[in-house]
Amino acid sequence: MAADTLCYLDYNATAPLRPTARAAMIAAWDVAGNASSPHSAGRAARRIVEAARAQVAAAVGAPPAAVIFTAGGTEADNLAVTGTGHMVVMSAIEHDAVRLAAGDRAVTIPVDADGRIALTALERILSAMSGSALVSVMLVNNETGTIQPVAEAAAIARRYGALIHTDAVQALGRVAIDLRRLDVDMISLSAHKLGGPKGVGALIVRDGVPLRPLLRGGGQERRRRAGTENVAGIAGFGAVCAEVEQSLADQVRLAGLRDRLEATIRSADPALVVFGATAPRVGNTSCLAMTGVAADTQLMAFDLAGIAVSSGAACSSGKVATSHVLRAMAAAPDLAGSAVRVSLGWGSGPDDVARFTAAWLGLRQRTRPDRVA
Amino acid sequence: MTETLILPDPVAPGTDAVVRSVLAQIGDPVGIDKPRAQTRVVVAMSGGVDSSVTAAVLAGAGYDVVGITLQLYDQGLALARKGACCAGQDIYDARQVADRLGIPHYVLDYENRFSESVVEDFADSYLRGETPVPCIRCNQRVKFRDLLDTARDLGADALATGHYARRIVGPGGAEMHRGQDPGRDQSYFLFATTRAQLEFLRFPLGGLTKPQTRVLAAHFGLAVADKPDSQDICFVPNGSYAQVVERLRPGAVVPGDIVHCDGRVLGRHQGIIGYTIGQRRGLGIGGLSDHDQPLYVIGLDAAAHRVIVGPREALARDQVEVAEVNWLGDPLPAANGGEGVAVTVKLRSTQTAAAARLLLTGGDRARVTLATPQYGVAPGQACVFYQGDRLLGGGWIRGTSSNFVA
């Protein structure tokens, strides 16, 4: 493949727009009405929003009325974590949208070295707490792809009368989610990780969970989220949710690509460390360390080779901070500092994997410590 | 999305005559026998005019240019705002320039390395009664070590900076020479560059004057063309380095006596870090004079927390002990004589070079004997050796004495 075409392997950051989402949005942009207006134009917009609401709800087995559309996963997480006023008990590997919203009073559930939360610790924390608690455990970690035992955490939370929220932003379309079986009170979703538009997401809330809105104003979203609906974005979100089954079916293919990627590199570098590899993982993610080469150096080298990957959580200035996720997994700082995340998605193919492994091995060769200075 | 500028061919017909002559003066800024498009040059971009023009010249000449800006310190530190994760204006400017040039640009967080390699040393040096030059440590330990290693990791063929110094390839390899413009020459700050580093480095602006650089900045349409020169030390806001030292070493700044070299106690000071050898103004002892003779700081006694003052004659020094010598010149004759070699030396960045004899005394030490005494030679500053325009090496001033009889 030519070096001037982008090899995009950063789906956990965001995914390229799916054609169905684009089509749905273009159609929605031509609808002039405000979904709150009673006239025909307003009703047309309302139809789009409600159709999408049904699609989003169906993707996770929820009743449509439980869906609160938001401006993305971050807002959904913030609403969930702050909206009940309960004391927050969260895993050590939550996204900053949960961690920073939870504030200093939050209690942290540690994770094992393989990146899965310690359920015994959750039990201990809840048994020692007085007052109302909200447990927040993500379904899939964004950096390592580890799948968290949310159902088990929910059972524990129930036993202690706590509410439970799960951030499923990285899980939608990668693991099957059925809220009739996954007994959580709130779940955060985002459209763009799956190939929908950026800037739209949802918090799905079980009936009866008391929630104080973040935004006040109009009575949209049953008075739970004020503001004129992002009709086109919501339409795009609905469209990708309608493809969740295909996306789930595609995970086997992506896991095959990911496994080949790791195997190819491991055959050349038997000491390769892949974070979270011993835990259940989604098929699209690999967090791998090139020992002795700083992650930011790798990112630059891959970028110069036309390959987009990620490291830690990128901050707004483009700086790379040490990953709190790998720290929580007790990874050695040097190793954590040399970890890069590769994440595949609907547009990924064998060529992308081949390009990445070739670039990885080339950089590994160039940066060997015995390199002639 | 920023529109990427297609750069004008730098020597295209119709290009302003002044610009053409400046570009001709630069010539080939890299000089590697390889197609330019396949020659990768990392440019250390600070966001200032000099490094921006360096990147523009290289990009305009067709090289595969990669801009890197180092985030060296927390921009919000002065306001005691921890963990601020926002790029400062300089980083923003560097990114804008890179966007305009259409080159990839990255910001690397070097705060920890900079703090460990430069800032800590800066504080300790002041507390020892020295007058440090952190910019040299930064070049030595951050830019030309860690950044240079990163450039190699990226497969670069060279690392370019906007310094006003000239790298000239001589029979024995790359040589460091003064910048063409004596008022801008920055070679003093580069004395600690190793031979291996110098082989990899390029200073495309070394033959230019600042006005010429600004002409190029305007020619390339860089928004930083009129940006004022940076002043002082980058991580010291408003030049108040005493505040920085106090924050880094709480309690280490101790008041003490101001003592005349004849033994009289003339007053009190709030910490020796407020004084530098040769300083005359602001001694805080009123009058500033002794029988109408102006008084100067002639010594800083860190152990006793004393500032020692005296008449100008007491500042005169013609012997300088130099440590951590880095040698970039040709190997000296084995004996090196008892006399040493004739050189000129700069004992501070703003001074003109003075005639001296240099004797390498073994290990990484040297003794410099000045032809005429110099006033205000301060430990902690660099002593840099030249022959003509060529920089032979340099080291850190550890001690001074005087054989000179007034």
The whole-angstrom separation of Cα A216 and Cα B384 is 67
Residues with Cβ within 8 Å of residue B176, at least 6 apart in sequence: B165, B166, B167, B187, B190, B191, B193, B198, B328, B390, B391
Q: Give the model's confidence band at B7: pLDDT under 50 very low, under 70 low, under 90 confident, else very high.
A: low
ipTM (interface pTM): 0.84
Give yes or no for a contact between A352 and A344, defined as CB atoms under 8 angstroms apart.
Answer: yes
**Would you give the distance in Å from CA A34 to the centre of its chain?**
30
- Lowest-confidence pick of A55-59, A200-204, B350-354: B350-354
Average pLDDT taken over every residue of chain B: 88
Residues with Cβ within 8 Å of residue B180, at least 6 apart in sequence: B164, B166, B206, B207, B208, B209
What distance in Å separates residue A366's CA from the closest CA in chain B? 7
The whole-angstrom separation of Cα A197 and Cα A232 is 9
Which residue, chain included where needed, has tokens 């890179």? B98
A contact test, residue of B106, B152, B194 with most A CBs within 10 A? B106
- Residue B342: beta bridge partners? B357
Does B106 reach chain A within 8 Å, measured CB to CB?
yes
Q: How many C-beta atoms lie closer than 10 Å to residue B211's C-beta?
A: 10
Give yes or no for a contact between A330 and A2, defined as CB atoms under 8 angstroms apart.
Answer: no
The whole-angstrom separation of Cα A119 and Cα A89 is 12
- Residue B390: beta bridge partners? B177, B387
Average pLDDT taken over every residue of chain A: 94
**Torsion-angle region of residue B389: left (phi > 0), alpha (psi -120 to 50) or beta?**
alpha
Give yes or no for a contact between A223 and A49, defined as CB atoms under 8 angstroms apart.
Answer: no
Written as six digits, the tokens of A155 are 């059972």
Does A300 reach chain B within 8 Å, measured CB to CB?
yes
Q: Which residues of B are catalytic?
A: 138, 234
With 0-12 CB in 10 A as exposed, 13-18 as middle and 19+ as buried, what is A85?
exposed
Q: Is the pLDDT higher at B338 or at B219?
A: B219
The whole-angstrom separation of Cα A94 and Cα B189 is 46
Q: How many CA atoms lie within 13 A of A106 on its CB side?
A: 23
Give yes or no for a contact between A299 and A311, defined as CB atoms under 8 angstroms apart.
Answer: yes
Write down the pLDDT at residue B363: 85
Considering only CA atoms, which of A257, A272, A223, A86 is closest in space to residue A162?
A86
Considering only CA atoms, which of A93, A371, A88 is closest in space to residue B155?
A371
pTM: 0.88
Question: Which residue of A300, A315, A321 is in closest CB contact with B154?
Answer: A300
**Amino acid of residue B92:** Y
**CATH hierarchy code of domain B17-219:** 3.40.50.620
Q: Chains A and B: how many Cβ contacts under 8 Å?
A: 53
Does A321 reach chain B within 8 Å, measured CB to CB?
yes
The helix (run of H) or strand (run of E) holding residue B277 is: none
Q: What is the pLDDT of residues B250-264, one digit of tens each?
A: 888 899 999 999 999
Residues with Cβ within 8 Å of residue B230, at least 6 apart in sequence: B46, B48
The whole-angstrom separation of Cα A130 and Cα A137 is 20
The whole-angstrom separation of Cα A187 and Cα A205 is 7
Written as six digits, the tokens of B159 are 């690392």
With 0-12 CB in 10 A as exposed, 13-18 as middle and 19+ as buried, what is B146?
middle
**Domain limits, chain B:** 17-219, 254-314, 316-401
Q: Give the model's confidence band at B281: pLDDT under 50 very low, under 70 low, under 90 confident, else very high.
A: confident
Q: Cβ contact (<8 Å) for B107 and A319? A: yes
What is the DSSP code (8-state) at residue B48?
A: S
Give yes or no for a contact between B192 and B148, defined as CB atoms under 8 angstroms apart.
Answer: no
Written as six digits, the tokens of A267 are 């055959």
CATH topology assigned to domain B316-401: Elongation Factor Tu (Ef-tu); domain 3 (2.40.30)
The answer to whether residue B269 scores a pLDDT higher than 70 is: yes
Q: Is the pLDDT higher at A23 or at A334?
A: A23
Q: What is the pLDDT of residues A230-272, one digit of tens each?
A: 999 999 999 999 999 999 999 999 999 999 999 999 999 998 9
* Phi, psi dihedral angles at B375 (to 5 degrees): -110, 130
Q: What is the pLDDT of residues B49-108, one digit of tens each?
A: 999 999 999 999 999 999 999 988 876 554 443 334 445 888 999 999 999 999 999 999
Write down the pLDDT at residue B304: 94
The whole-angstrom separation of Cα A30 and Cα B341 is 83
- Mean pLDDT for B189-218 is 96
Considering only CA atoms, which of B327, B350, B332, B328 is closest in space to residue B342?
B332
Q: Cβ contact (<8 Å) for B87 and A315? A: no
Question: Which residue of A296, A321, A373 is in closest CB contact with B108?
Answer: A296
Q: How many C-beta atoms lie closer than 10 Å to residue A44's C-beta?
A: 17
Written as six digits, the tokens of B305 are 């927390």
- Residue B65: beta bridge partners? B41
Give yes or no for a contact between A93 and A141, defined as CB atoms under 8 angstroms apart.
Answer: yes
Does B55 reach chain A within 8 Å, measured CB to CB?
no
Q: Which residue of B has its CA nearest to A297?
A: B150
Write down the pLDDT at residue A314: 46
Write down the pLDDT at residue B236: 82
**CATH hierarchy code of domain B254-314:** 2.30.30.280
Residues of chain A numbered 171-210 and touching chain B (CB < 8 Å): none
The whole-angstrom separation of Cα A299 and Cα B108 is 11
- Mean pLDDT for A104-132 is 95
Residues with Cβ within 8 Å of residue A324, at least 6 apart in sequence: A92, A93, A99
Q: Which residues of A are catalytic?
A: 315
Q: How many C-beta atoms lie closer than 10 Å to residue A173's C-beta?
A: 29
Strands A133-136 and A163-167 turn out to be parallel
